[in-house]
Amino acid sequence: MMGKAKAAVAGANGYAGMTLVHLLARHPGVELVQLTSRSYAGKPYSEVFPLHDLEGSFLEEPDPAEVDVVFSCLPHNVGAGKAGGWLEAGARVIDLSADFRLREAAQYPRWYRQEHPLPELLSKAVLGLPELHKDELPGAELVAVPGCYSTASILGLAPAVAAGLVGSDIVVDAKSGVSGAGRSPGLGVHFSEVNESLGAYAIDGHRHLPELVQELAALAPGGPAPRVTFVPHLVPMTRGILATCYFDLKGSLADLEEAYQEFYAGEPFTRVLPMSPTTKLASHTNLCLVNVAAQGVKAIVTSALDNLVKGASGQGVESFNLAFGFERTTGLLEPIQWP
């Protein structure tokens, strides 16, 4: 793309939106022209972004006719009904909610408790996971950025599934920092509730599970994806995801290691490490760090990323770069400092 893309961020006062503004404000190919927030409408940007030299005030809604792209950080089931109008007005859409991640409209009532308002757009959406969909992203008009848990889990499992090295059901034990629950206050993320405590939740099925199954099924050679048991946990830290994936290994550990090295060769943001990664290694970056190991015949793959960057806004910018013809790493090589 020649020149700068004019961008709007809808829902710019949540954690994902704020992280996105930090990234786009320093992106050499982006002009931030609209930030929206219903709770901050009419207030100056400086009330939320005191460290950025951003002039202007928050709008209640974006004007898609005035921008090239709308980054939607609105809650699930909110942005879906607006996206059609944004697209019709000529703006492209990078959606960070779950509204366009699943290809089957019938999945939404089960996982998101309502019918999808624009099911005809689901087939047009490209999943914003560049390691799997970078060939589909250039020129994409609607990009659905996957969830933080699903990103960590898919990248932890994709090479093994694609190589046919998974010999059993898969178990994913995943842990997230509290910022993954969003910025809105609530009892479940109150300091007194989460400090010095660790617990599992959504044990009967987390809404990121169908994204994981959908992508693994597309990779599985000659058949459906293995069955997956996914259990998330809330950890008393601000940010980070660690997914530990277990499955019976077909072949040797050397075969598995080779599959991961080949699958991620040349990938700028997913790295295979010789030791199990910690969340702090990936914190404030767009990296996903993966390690491959085994106990006997049981493979153990660990995957770590920052839930607000590679698990959300950073991956949104990475997908934007591919969609608009920028270098994939543009604006993503320096760390994010807040929150």
Contact between residue 138 and residue 322 where contact means Cβ atoms under 8 Å apart: yes
Tokens 């609607």 map to which residue?
142
Give the amino acid at 7.
A
Known catalytic membership, residue 245 = no
137-174: b (≥16 Cβ within 10 Å) or e: beebbbbbbbbbbbbbbbbbbbbbbbbbbbeeebebbb
Distance of CA 39 to the CA centre of its chain: 24
Contact between residue 38 and residue 13 where contact means Cβ atoms under 8 Å apart: no
Cα gap 210→212, rounded to integer Å: 5
Residues 73, 148, 245, 288: which is the catalytic one? 148
E runs forming strands in 228-269? 228-234, 241-248
CA angle 80, 102, 15 (to 5 degrees): 60
For 55, the token pair is 């002039």
Which has the closest alpha carbon to 62: 8, 19, 12, 25?
8
Contact between residue 245 and residue 203 where contact means Cβ atoms under 8 Å apart: no
Cα gap 219→212, rounded to integer Å: 11
Report the catalytic residues: 148
